[in-house]
Amino acid sequence: MENLCRDLDKVRKISPLVHNITNYVVMNNTANALLAIGASPVMAHSVDEVADMASIASSLVLNIGTLEESWVDAMLIAAEAAHKAGIPVIFDPVGAGATPYRSETCRRMLEECRPSVIRGNASEIMALLNVSSRTKGVDSTASSDSAVASAKELASATGAVVVISGAVDYVTDGSRLESVTNGHPMMSKVTGMGCTATAVTGAFAAVNNDLCEASLHAMTVMGVAGEIAARNAKGPGSLQMEFLDALYCLDETLLRKHVRP
């Protein structure tokens, strides 16, 4: 808890620049979530500038939600610049397994981008190991528990911290396994909550070299903010609004009250 509060303070003081190459659906949400938590978001995807942008950023977030060839090219270039600059690369394999193109792109991302953290739902994480499985769109159809073994294997194989989000979130580096039980079922009715978790992971990874802990902090903050938001929400519309307010208002008192040990 001390480390979480310390890192939240750091995000707000340093306001790390998080470079996002992400999908059209969630850009607005993720930019707003990063601002609300205290980070400084930038969205830039042109091959003409992603290397320069990544090199002045504190972390790089790659999300293939609405992928197309020129965006994948940009992600590969940005990842190379990020590794050169020594900043973490967070990868969100949205819809992995849904189409052959998406699976093939995921394979390229794992091999050529060498992500530092991978965050997906259970279906996506399992699909990264088994591209023949078909996910139903971008929602999770497998339980997060059943994917823990896949996550550990994926972490060991890639060297990345792997995060599965779901009713219970799991964070693993292949040996350590942490879980977060905070959150609310209605969060799955707001588009881009998973993508937002990935972006927020970018903010915490920018201030903590222990990427397992950084990911745990990000998922905890997401879960707590979601719970606080749900108390005042009548549906997914108000949940989304309350969620940004909750991220903005989070402090040690609220965290101590809500985080389940």
Contacts with its own copies by CB under 8 A lie at 15, 17, 23-29, 31-32, 35-36, 40-46, 48-49, 52-53, 56-57, 65-70, 95, 98-102, 134, 136-139, 188-192, 233-238, 240-249
**Cβ-based nearer residue to its own copies, 52 or 112:** 52
Which residue type sits at 123?
S
- In the complex, what is the shortest distance from the CB of residue 37 to its own copies, in angstroms, rounded to a whole number? 10
Q: Of 182, 187, 217, 224, nearest to 202 (Cα)? A: 217
Which residue type sits at 28?
N
Residue 187 and residue 168 in contact, taking contact as beta carbons nearer than 8 Å? no
User: What are the tokens at 214?
Assistant: 């950084």
Query: Pairing relation of β-strands 169-172 and 161-165?
Result: antiparallel
**Cβ-based nearer residue to its own copies, 87 or 212:** 87
- In the complex, what is the shortest distance from the CB of residue 47 to its own copies, in angstroms, rounded to a whole number? 8
Which residue type sits at 121?
N
- In the complex, what is the shortest distance from the CB of residue 217 to its own copies, in angstroms, rounded to a whole number? 20
Distance of CA 68 to the CA centre of its chain: 20
User: Nearest 5°: phi and psi at 256?
Assistant: -60, -35
**Cβ-based nearer residue to its own copies, 219 or 246:** 246
**Cβ-based nearer residue to its own copies, 130 or 181:** 130
- In the complex, what is the shortest distance from the CB of residue 173 to its own copies, in angstroms, rounded to a whole number? 29
